[in-house]
Chains A and B, each alone.
Chain A
Amino acid sequence: MARIGVFICHCGENISATVDVAKVAEKAGKLSGVAYSVDYKYMCSDPGQTLIIESIKKHRLTGIVVAACSPRMHEATFRKAAEKAGINPYLCEMANIREQVSWVHPKSDATTQKALDIIRTLVEKVKKDVALFPIKVPVTKTALVIGGGIAGIQAALDIANAGHQVIMVEKKPSIGGHMSQLSETFPTLDCSQCILTPRMVEVAQHPNITLHTYAEVESVSGFIGNFDVKIRMKAKSVDISKCTGCGACWQKCPTKKIPNEFNEGMGFRTAIYSPFPQAVPNKPVIDREHCSWFTKGGKCGVCKKTCPTGAIDYDTQDEFIDVKVGAIVTATGFDLKHADFFPEYGYGKFKDVIDGMQFERLASASGPTAGEIRRPSDGKIPKKIVFVACAGSRDKAKGIEYCSKVCCMYTAKHAMLYKHKNHEGKAYVFYMDIRAAGKNYDEFVRRAVEEDEVQYIRGRVSRIYEKDGKLIVKGVDTLMNSEPVDIEADMVVLATAVVANIEAESLAQKLHISYDKHHFFAEAHPKLKPVETNTAGIMLAGACQSAKDIPESVSQASASASKVIGLFSSNELTREPIVAVVNRQAPPNFTSCTGCLLCMEVCPYHAIEKEEIKDRAGNLIKVAAKVNAGLCQGCGTCVAMCRNKSIDIQGFSNDQMMSEVMALLNA
């Protein structure tokens, strides 16, 4: 026989000003199965909780309903109180009579009645509550970091330094990402490679980090604490155990005219190559799309003949390795739109209209011009450069409504670097707004304007065209009476929009994480869970989530790492038992599940698998669905699909829901 306790909270005046709490307590006490009912000013306070604990003991209550605020606020508080009093915490339910009653209705009898109605449904539910116990899941204390840019590097080092194993997967031949391409960094103008390369080396040498470059994630299955990952190790054609990185091969390679990706297409590389001098690992790979051994059927072979250690092997194939990890940090970075996205700026046909990353390479000491800012068309030093901020960003017509966030700062930096190298040169910046909200950021922009005399023009550029060897930049100065401005420039740098990595969508599908309409990965909560995804155990770091600069990427990477380290701090994971279960019955039925597996089809978390029920001799008796409690998020989609009610959410069973509805209808 149920002995239910009902505890009605005044919440100060939040509830009692609109709901007649004394009357509710009195009427609730008369409900069938209710053994005790009381109202109190602050049920969540220490005396309030004590009242609950004492009442449970004194009245030998078998379940309680706390009528107060939203369960999101205090369910944990009251469940703990119930546990202290010696009953299973899942036998405590909350009736929300604040957000759903007192805050949204005026004081009236109907309002009081509604509070009572809600309590009645929960009383019926709690009668059918059963004791539930948290689910324990073991944890594999190895993390997978996808992407070897600055975000991935930071996350990997943080996790590894905490004593856990890390597997890093980078699709390019070297780690370093976009940061390795940058010249100087704002707002301090320190050299990007100088601060990055020590970190890259640290990753390569760290005893807890296993680095797989030229590799990609092929597939991911499993769940938090227990992911199974298949990694594709792309064929490098070079045996890295023999290669010493001497460079003889790429010096002799006859295929020399391949556009150099690291230099953003300015300059060339060979078919066997290491992307840049400080590459980690500094061992080459053969680009099979361009290597004449592969394109012309076994001709050439120069690198193999040249290699002093016999490391070249044309016959290597893509290999797959399977790893088990407990957590995944996704740090796959971003792409940039290029000049060819802009018909109004010449579709990328004008050689001297370049994007921001190309300017970085021009300004970088390791770049194609050894750090002298020379224009791509004829190698001359431009006397006049126009920088166009917001090229594509914040432009609905271009389908990119968002702010790319880093452009204001790097454009100021570009203009500054140009002025520092060419004192007589003129630099113009067309901008919409200047967004320089970071630490020392606005000061940096002011420095460009005031000390380096960069001319900022507030307005947009409508068109760029070539005339007599000059680039005519047509814009408007909205602060000068909206005057049209035509500038004859020698070079134009477009701060093109930051967009999601081109492979982001397919990776998200492999990982079962969600992404926004621009294909940036979605965080679990925009404010309170900014580094987690809504798939437990998978974190985000850096620009794969949204456009970010270096300090922000590093911060987020460390935050992700701390989430991973937290996850690895115990040997088992504890999860709420609010998950789906397939019923079990005595033989010969075993379960009412008929094994249609519609639930498996609809489960968004891939938490349902096929189970074969066998007898002792191993003969198949029945096929049924089975829920992996580690993966199940308790959404209930399977319950809605099940044709014969064989699957239920623990704590929210069909039977309980029905009782709640009937409690309202029978009022």
Chain B
Amino acid sequence: MRIGFYPGCSLEGSSKEYSDSLFAVAEKCGITLEEIKDWSCCGASAAHNLNHDLAVALPARTLALAEKQGLAEIVVPCAACYSRLASSKEEISANDATRKKIESYIDLKLSAEVKILTVFEFLKKYIFPVADQYIVNKLNQKTACYYGCLYSRPKEIAAIEQIENPMEMDEVMAKAGATPINWAFKTECCGAGFTMSRTDIVAKLSGKIIEDAAERGAESIIVACPMCHVNLDMRRPEIKKQLNKDINIPVLFITQALGVSMGISADRLGVNKHYVPTDKVVTCIVKKEA
């Protein structure tokens, strides 16, 4: 089987370690990911605020390129990219006139039949069947799996079953030997794109998330979204000021945490690239691979 990979901008920039850890885990399990050639921006939050057609066409181009490359399935690790690609696919599949219009914009044929996988769908489908033989360091700690907004909304494209109480990431962490906690802020807003313009709002919203996780004894927070990661990790100084207390729970990408349990080195997983240090809590991190 061939599995495509759509990085989007974050995984090449601020969240390089998300991409690195995904590839490291996949490689460990003998799975190859093929990057979609000549992919373009998903439109992110900008396009759909400006022009609806553009917001549908940008992801559509990437989907069409994946088809052209002969990929039946692609993994999209960024939550925002997932949301845009899945929305675009949904809209095009529902209406043939839209499909024709978008095809004329992008100058490519588009069936929109490519299956789009979130990172946790990918892990469950391809890594789970073989994972047990590679998991060497059970994480043995309480983790708070944080899903944010874009995986559970809107309902039509939600990649999870129980949108009010998602469990998909919890399943992955349980596989990695951690104990996912039951907490209240799984799908609350982190402040998202306000990270640049209204850092105060982000500090308030992300602060509540971190506080609840801490109060319920979480030793790490697991995310699957670059934006969430930025807000919970990079904005920690502002959060500390807002909460008026020092909470040092590290924030890991789900692929990093799984990679740690597989004994993949810190360097390869990029766990040393975060603002909040990870090594004190994730004690089983292997510095160098044997």
Q: A397-B155, A465-B184 are in contact. Are A344 and B164 (CB under 8 A)?
A: yes
Q: Does B162 lie within 8 Å of A463, measured CB to CB?
A: no
Docked complex Cα distance between A466 and B185 (Å): 12
Task: State the interface size on chain A (CB cutoff 8 A).
Answer: 10
Rounded to whole Å, the gap between the CB of A468 and the closest CB of chain B is: 9
Main secondary structure of the interface of B (DSSP, over half): loop
Q: Does B164 lie within 8 Å of A472, measured CB to CB?
A: no
Q: Which of B184, B188, B215 has the most CB of A within 10 A?
A: B184
Docked complex Cα distance between A591 and B193 (Å): 81
Docked complex Cα distance between A465 and B164 (Å): 12
Q: A-facing mask of B211-234, CB < 8 A → 1, else 0?
A: 010010000000000000000000
> Which of A342, A466, A467 is the one whose CB lies under 8 Å from B164?
A342
Contacts of B164 in A (CB 8 A): 342-344
Q: Does A344 lie within 8 Å of B215, measured CB to CB?
A: no
Q: Which of B162, B164, B188 has the most CB of A within 10 A?
A: B164
Q: Determine if A590 is an interface residue (Cβ-Cβ < 8 Å).
A: no
Residues of chain A in range 381-406 having any CB-CB distance to chain B below 8 Å: 397
Q: Does A472 lie within 8 Å of B184, measured CB to CB?
A: yes
Contacts of B188 in A (CB 8 A): 463
Residues of chain A in range 424-475 having any CB-CB distance to chain B below 8 Å: 463, 465-467, 472
Docked complex Cα distance between A472 and B164 (Å): 16
Docked complex Cα distance between A466 and B216 (Å): 11
Smallest CB gap from B155: residue in A: A397
Residues of chain A in range 465-520 having any CB-CB distance to chain B below 8 Å: 465-467, 472
Rounded to whole Å, the gap between the CB of B95 and the closest CB of chain A is: 20
Q: Determine if A347 is an interface residue (Cβ-Cβ < 8 Å).
A: yes
Contacts of B215 in A (CB 8 A): 467
Task: State the interface size on chain B (CB cutoff 8 A).
Answer: 10
Contacts of B155 in A (CB 8 A): 397
Q: Determine if B165 is an interface residue (Cβ-Cβ < 8 Å).
A: yes
Q: Does A343 lie within 8 Å of B162, measured CB to CB?
A: yes
Q: Does B184 lie within 8 Å of A347, measured CB to CB?
A: no
Contacts of A397 in B (CB 8 A): 155, 163
Contacts of A465 in B (CB 8 A): 183-184
Q: Does B184 lie within 8 Å of A343, measured CB to CB?
A: no
Contacts of A467 in B (CB 8 A): 184, 212, 215
Rounded to whole Å, the gap between the CB of B208 and the closest CB of chain A is: 10
Rounded to whole Å, the gap between the CB of A386 and the closest CB of chain B is: 16
Docked complex Cα distance between A397 and B183 (Å): 22
Residues of chain B in range 157-203 having any CB-CB distance to chain A below 8 Å: 162-165, 183-184, 188
Q: A-facing mask of B133-168, CB < 8 A → 1, else 0?
A: 000000000000000000000010000001111000
Contacts of A343 in B (CB 8 A): 162, 164-165
Docked complex Cα distance between A347 and B184 (Å): 12
Docked complex Cα distance between A599 and B40 (Å): 62
Contacts of A347 in B (CB 8 A): 165
Rounded to whole Å, the gap between the CB of A320 and the closest CB of chain B is: 44
Smallest CB gap from B163: residue in A: A397
Smallest CB gap from B166: residue in A: A343
Contacts of A342 in B (CB 8 A): 164
Rounded to whole Å, the gap between the CB of B250 and the closest CB of chain A is: 23
Docked complex Cα distance between A343 and B163 (Å): 9
Contacts of A463 in B (CB 8 A): 184, 188
Rounded to whole Å, the gap between the CB of B192 and the closest CB of chain A is: 16
Smallest CB gap from A472: residue in B: B184
Docked complex Cα distance between A397 and B164 (Å): 11
Contacts of B183 in A (CB 8 A): 465
Rounded to whole Å, the gap between the CB of B153 and the closest CB of chain A is: 10
Q: B-facing mask of A329-354, CB < 8 A → 1, else 0?
A: 00000000000001110010000000
Rounded to whole Å, the gap between the CB of A142 and the closest CB of chain B is: 50
Smallest CB gap from B184: residue in A: A465
Smallest CB gap from B165: residue in A: A343
Smallest CB gap from A466: residue in B: B184
Docked complex Cα distance between A472 and B188 (Å): 14
Contacts of B184 in A (CB 8 A): 463, 465-467, 472
Smallest CB gap from A344: residue in B: B164
Rounded to whole Å, the gap between the CB of A392 and the closest CB of chain B is: 12
Docked complex Cα distance between A483 and B212 (Å): 21
Rounded to whole Å, the gap between the CB of A637 and the closest CB of chain B is: 35
Docked complex Cα distance between A480 and B260 (Å): 47
Docked complex Cα distance between A467 and B215 (Å): 9
Rounded to whole Å, the gap between the CB of B70 and the closest CB of chain A is: 37
Rounded to whole Å, the gap between the CB of B90 and the closest CB of chain A is: 16
Rounded to whole Å, the gap between the CB of B135 and the closest CB of chain A is: 29
Smallest CB gap from A465: residue in B: B184
Smallest CB gap from A398: residue in B: B164
Docked complex Cα distance between A427 and B164 (Å): 26
Smallest CB gap from B153: residue in A: A397
Rounded to whole Å, the gap between the CB of B256 and the closest CB of chain A is: 27
Smallest CB gap from B183: residue in A: A465
Rounded to whole Å, the gap between the CB of B204 and the closest CB of chain A is: 10
Docked complex Cα distance between A43 and B246 (Å): 92
Contacts of B165 in A (CB 8 A): 343-344, 347
Residues of chain B in range 61-111 having any CB-CB distance to chain A below 8 Å: none
Rounded to whole Å, the gap between the CB of B210 and the closest CB of chain A is: 15
Docked complex Cα distance between A397 and B163 (Å): 10
Docked complex Cα distance between A635 and B78 (Å): 58
Rounded to whole Å, the gap between the CB of B136 and the closest CB of chain A is: 34
Contacts of A344 in B (CB 8 A): 164-165
Docked complex Cα distance between A463 and B185 (Å): 9
Rounded to whole Å, the gap between the CB of B223 and the closest CB of chain A is: 19
Rounded to whole Å, the gap between the CB of A482 and the closest CB of chain B is: 14
Docked complex Cα distance between A343 and B165 (Å): 6
Docked complex Cα distance between A347 and B164 (Å): 10
Docked complex Cα distance between A323 and B275 (Å): 79
Smallest CB gap from B158: residue in A: A397
Residues of chain A in range 341-371 having any CB-CB distance to chain B below 8 Å: 342-344, 347
Docked complex Cα distance between A467 and B184 (Å): 9
Smallest CB gap from B182: residue in A: A349
Docked complex Cα distance between A412 and B162 (Å): 31
Smallest CB gap from B154: residue in A: A397
Docked complex Cα distance between A347 and B155 (Å): 19
Residues of chain A in range 247-283 having any CB-CB distance to chain B below 8 Å: none
Rounded to whole Å, the gap between the CB of A71 and the closest CB of chain B is: 42
Docked complex Cα distance between A397 and B158 (Å): 12
Docked complex Cα distance between A233 and B271 (Å): 69
Smallest CB gap from A468: residue in B: B215
Docked complex Cα distance between A488 and B165 (Å): 21
A-B pairs with lowest CB-CB distance, top 10: A465-B184, A343-B165, A343-B164, A344-B164, A397-B155, A343-B162, A463-B184, A347-B165, A344-B165, A472-B184
A343-B162, A343-B165, A467-B215 given. 8 additional CB < 8 A pairs? A342-B164, A343-B164, A344-B165, A347-B165, A397-B155, A463-B188, A466-B184, A467-B184
**A/B interface sample: 13 pairs, CB < 8 A:** A343-B164, A343-B165, A344-B164, A344-B165, A397-B163, A463-B184, A463-B188, A465-B183, A465-B184, A466-B184, A467-B184, A467-B212, A467-B215
Interface of B with A (CB < 8 Å)? 155, 162-165, 183-184, 188, 212, 215
